[in-house]
């Protein structure tokens, strides 16, 4: 068997009820979510019983989803599956920090709370949004962005790039995408994340992270901004950089595959990353863990097809 990677889900995957099943069945997941609740009272209520509108507010989304991501990962470890490496999509990278040994969960959770505050503040100051562009090559999307004052910010998979732009420019940009033979889908987000509009948040996150006592990673964590593993020396800079730079998910996965990773397990709400992996190709096995049922399914797949 090749190496196993955990992929931590990003913002947009959240849904009411996330984490509840594992909270009720996995002691490891319960411990993580109880720790989050102790730091941020109301987290469990938002995850288990909150409505979609409440969960979709960046200030709530990021800490709730980060806690659920890590809880899902710990449930998988508790069941005997440990990662050889990992990555996270945007917010998911913060959830991966404690799994990689870079920061304790409590410090990482406080970091994500600060990150959420800063990114929401930036979003409130700029009337920006995000649009997914489908069916076009990356270079074509980049050319359209340059012409419309937009930025390609998530390279999700071949034929799918998410762009950040001013809300007022979305109609013209959508028409231009259609004319070029593509399809544009506005996303239900409240800001132009991973773009220069997030610069102040990026600086604030880096400043917050700089004095933290990062440890040498015990498991490689591949960074969104560089597609290479974190080191102690660059941890704070990478955490700031990822806020205002694109998530190059396709390149990241190709890099991990070149480094010997064949099996990928998405941990956290939903199966968005699993779907992107299917489109990128090259993975021997793809699984996800978001609840007790998916945990059991993934365990069965990994154990049946693995000699271990």
Active-site amino acid positions:
90, 194
Task: Quote the DSSP letter at residue 72.
Answer: H
Tokens of 38: 């102790």
Residue burial 99-128, b: 16+ Cβ < 10 Å; e: rest? bbebbebebbbbbbbbbbbbbbebbeebeb
Compute the chain's Rg from CA coordinates.
Answer: 18
Partners of residue 157 on adjacent β-strands? 160
Query: How do beta strands 261-267 and 3-8 pair?
Result: parallel
**Alpha carbons 132 and 38: distance in angstroms, whole number:** 37
Q: Which runs of E-coded beta strand occur in the chain?
A: 3-8, 85-88, 128-134, 151-157, 160-166, 183-186, 221-222, 261-267, 285-289
* Rounded CA separation 132/17 (Å): 26
Question: How far apart are the C-alpha atoms of 120 and 160, rounded to whole Å?
Answer: 25
Report DSSP state, residue 186.
E
Task: Tell me the two tokens of residue 37.
Answer: 């609740």
Of 155, 191, 153, 161, the residue nearest 177 (C-alpha): 161
Q: What is the DSSP letter of 245?
A: S
CB 240 within 8 A of CB 226: no
């Amino acid at each position: 068997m090749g190496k196993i990677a955990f992929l931590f889900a990003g913002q947009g995957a959240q849904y009411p009820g996330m984490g509840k099943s594992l909270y009720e069945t996995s002691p490891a997941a319960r411990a993580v979510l109880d720790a989050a609740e102790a730091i941020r009272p109301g987290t469990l209520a938002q995850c288990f019983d909150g409505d979609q509108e409440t969960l979709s507010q960046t200030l709530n989304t990021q800490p709730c989803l980060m806690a659920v991501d890590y809880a899902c990962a710990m449930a998988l470890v508790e069941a005997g599956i440990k990662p050889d490496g990992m990555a996270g999509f945007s917010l998911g990278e913060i959830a991966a920090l404690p799994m990689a040994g870079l920061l304790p969960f409590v410090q990482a959770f406080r970091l994500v709370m600060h990150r959420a505050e800063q990114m929401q503040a930036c979003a409130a100051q700029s009337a920006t949004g995000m649009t997914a562009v489908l069916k076009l090559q990356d270079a074509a999307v980049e050319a359209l962005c340059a012409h419309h004052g937009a930025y390609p910010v998530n390279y999700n998979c071949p034929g799918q790039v998410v762009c950040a732009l001013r809300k007022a420019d979305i109609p013209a940009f959508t028409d231009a995408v259609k004319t070029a033979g593509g399809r544009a889908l506005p996303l239900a987000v409240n800001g132009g994340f991973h773009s220069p509009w997030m610069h102040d948040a990026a600086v604030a996150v880096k400043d917050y992270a700089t004095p933290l006592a990062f440890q040498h990673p015990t498991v490689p964590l591949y960074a969104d901004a560089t597609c290479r593993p974190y080191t102690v020396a660059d941890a704070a800079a990478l955490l700031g950089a990822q806020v205002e730079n694109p998530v190059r998910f396709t390149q990241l996965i190709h890099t991990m595959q070149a480094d010997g990773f064949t099996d990928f397990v998405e941990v956290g709400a939903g199966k968005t990353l699993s779907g992107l992996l299917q489109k990128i190709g090259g993975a021997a096995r793809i699984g996800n863990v978001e609840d007790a049922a998916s945990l059991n399914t993934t365990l069965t797949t990994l154990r049946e097809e693995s000699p271990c």
